[in-house]
Amino acid sequence: MLDFALSAFVTLLLVVDPVGLAPAFLAATGGMPDKIKRTVALRAPFIAASILVVIALAGNWLLRQLGIGIPAFQIAGGLLLFGVSYQMIFGDRPHREAREADKATAEHASDVAVFPLAIPMMAGPGAIATTLLLTGNAGYGARLAIIIAIVFAVCLLCMLCFVSASLIARTLGRTGNAVLSRVLGMLLAAYSVQFVINGIAAVRASLS
C-alpha cells in the first residue's frame, strides 16, 4: 500500500508540476492586487482538486458506459503522458504556459482561477488521464481514498507554490526552471512508458 501511495503521488506530482506552474500563475495574475492574487491562489487549486476527485469517483464508471477497457485507457493515457513529457524535455513548457496564461487573462480577466489555472493547467488532460489510470484498479476501498488524498496533497502543493510564486521564480531563475522541467520530464517519460507496457501486458493476458 505504501509503494502504491508513493508511486501515485510521484506520478501525479510530475504531471501537474506545481513548481513549473509558478510562472503561469505570475503571468495570469499580473497587475492584480496582492489580495486578489491570494484569492486566486486559494481558489484555483480547490477547483482543480474538485474536478480530479469527481474524475476519481466517476471516471471509470463513465469508461464502462462508453465500453472502454482499462488496458485501452492505460495505453492511450501513457501515450498522452509521453507527449507531455516530450514537451517538458524538448519544449519550453513553463514559458509556453506563461504565454497561454497571459493570453487567456486578457480574454477572461473575470475569473483566471477557473481558466487557465485550474483548467487546463492543473486539471488538464494529463492530470485527468493520470487520475483515471491510477483509479483503474483501485476499486472503492482504501486505495481510492489514498488517491483522493494524493489529489488534495498535490493541489495543496500548487497552492503553496502559487502563494510563493514570486520567490520561486526569483530563486530558480530561467536556467533553474529549464533544468527542473527537463529532469521531471525524463521521470514522467519513464512512468508513461510503464503505463503503456502495463496496458499491453493486460491485453495479452486477456487474449491468452
More confident position, 105 or 58:
58
Please report the pLDDT score of residue 144 as a whole number: 92
pLDDT band at 145 (very low <50, low <70, confident <90, very high): very high
Q: Hunting for cell 474538485 — which residue is that?
A: 50
Helix, strand or coil for residue 156? helix
More confident residue, 91 or 183: 183
CA dihedral 107, 40, 11, 124 (to 10 degrees): -20
- Number of domains present in the structure of the chain: 1
Say if residues 107 and 203 touch (Cβ distance below 8 Å): no
pLDDT confidence of residue 109: 39
pTM of the model: 0.72
Q: Which domain holds residue 9?
A: 1-207
* Residues belonging to the chain: 208
50, 69, 14: which is closest to 123 by C-alpha?
A: 50
The better pLDDT of the pair 48, 198 is held by 48
pLDDT exceeds 60 at position 93: no
